[in-house]
Chain A
């Protein structure tokens, strides 16, 4: 089963993204705790793309496809902006974030902690970030 959403690159679209995530994950009978955390992780990636790769340009779009199977859910986020490969970024030290009074960096910690696998590929100007969550019974 495949679920698909396209949003414009504006931070105000993040609430639409959350609604789509929650509705889809509820349909897939994901626990409330996982619904919340998976929504957060996908939003963090999309917010990063909207702000850093697309500079909040409302003409650009991001596509999210959710694919589920009994053992895992794949969140595939596609855009055509400047490639932002999460895997290139190290998880920052929390104490450093505090001492440098940084407001960024926390999103990467959340995505890497919540998701089980992260894949990234860039091909002819199209970037695909795949976030994978395994559900082992």
Chain B
């Protein structure tokens, strides 16, 4: 089960992810990312406080946009990952490619 909520804060958009992302629903994350890119925003934050699980299908969505984000100068920040989920980012070395912060405050101030 996955819910994705979109919030706007000043010129930034926040995606609030709750539940589990796997091959059955990663398309929802992909669609949400595309929708945000279409707004022309330069700042996307992803709130993962309620994200309990993410498989490679979901991680692949983030990965597949990194190049586009760089080209279009879109700033992607992920925050509030649980220790278990953060471990998975680390196994893949995604913590070196994506800006990850402890909480929303730290992400906004960085």
Q: Are B91 and A110 in contact (CB under 8 A)?
A: yes
Chain B hits for A11, CB < 8 A: 22-24
| Interface residues in A83-123 (C-beta closer than 8 Å to B) | 94, 97-99, 101-107, 109-110, 113-114
Query: Interface digits, B1-26 against A, CB 8 Å rule (1 contact, 0 not)?
Result: 10000000000000000001011101
Interface size class of B (residues with CB under 8 A): 20 to 34
A110's partner among B63, B65, B88, B97 (CB-CB below 8 A) is B88
Interface residues on A, range: 20 to 34
In the complex the two chains form, is A106's CB within 8 Å of B56's CB?
Answer: yes
Chain A binding site: helix, strand, loop or mixed by DSSP?
A: helix
- Any chain A CB within 8 A of the CB of B68? yes
- Tell me if B67 and A104 are in contact (CB < 8 A): no
**CB-nearest residue of chain A to B25:** A11
Taking A94-B93, A106-B63, A107-B55 as contacts, is the C-beta distance between A15 and B20 under 8 angstroms?
yes
Q: How far is the CB of A103 from chain B (nearest CB, A)?
A: 4
Instruction: State whether A36 touches B84 (Cβ < 8 A).
Output: yes
Q: How many A-B residue pairs have CB under 8 A?
A: 85
A98 touches B55 (CB 8 A): no
Determine whether A24 belongs to the interface, using a CB cutoff of 8 Å to chain B: no
For the complex, what is the distance from the CA of A132 to the CA of B53, rounded to whole Å? 22
Contacts of A124 in B (CB 8 A): none
CB distance from B2 to the nearest CB of A (A): 10
B66 within 8 A of A: yes
- Which residues of A does B touch, CB under 8 Å? 10-12, 14-15, 18, 32-33, 36-37, 39-40, 43-44, 47, 50-51, 94, 97-99, 101-107, 109-110, 113-114
* Sample of 5 further A-B pairs with CB below 8 A, known A101-B68, A114-B91: A47-B23, A101-B67, A103-B60, A106-B59, A110-B56
> When A and B form their complex, which 4 residue pairs have the shortest distance between CB atoms, in order from nearest?
A11-B24, A103-B60, A106-B56, A107-B56
List 22 interface pairs A-B (beta carbons < 8 Å), by A numbering: A11-B22, A12-B24, A14-B24, A14-B55, A18-B20, A32-B84, A40-B88, A47-B55, A47-B57, A98-B66, A98-B67, A101-B67, A101-B68, A102-B64, A103-B64, A106-B56, A106-B60, A109-B56, A110-B56, A110-B88, A110-B91, A110-B92
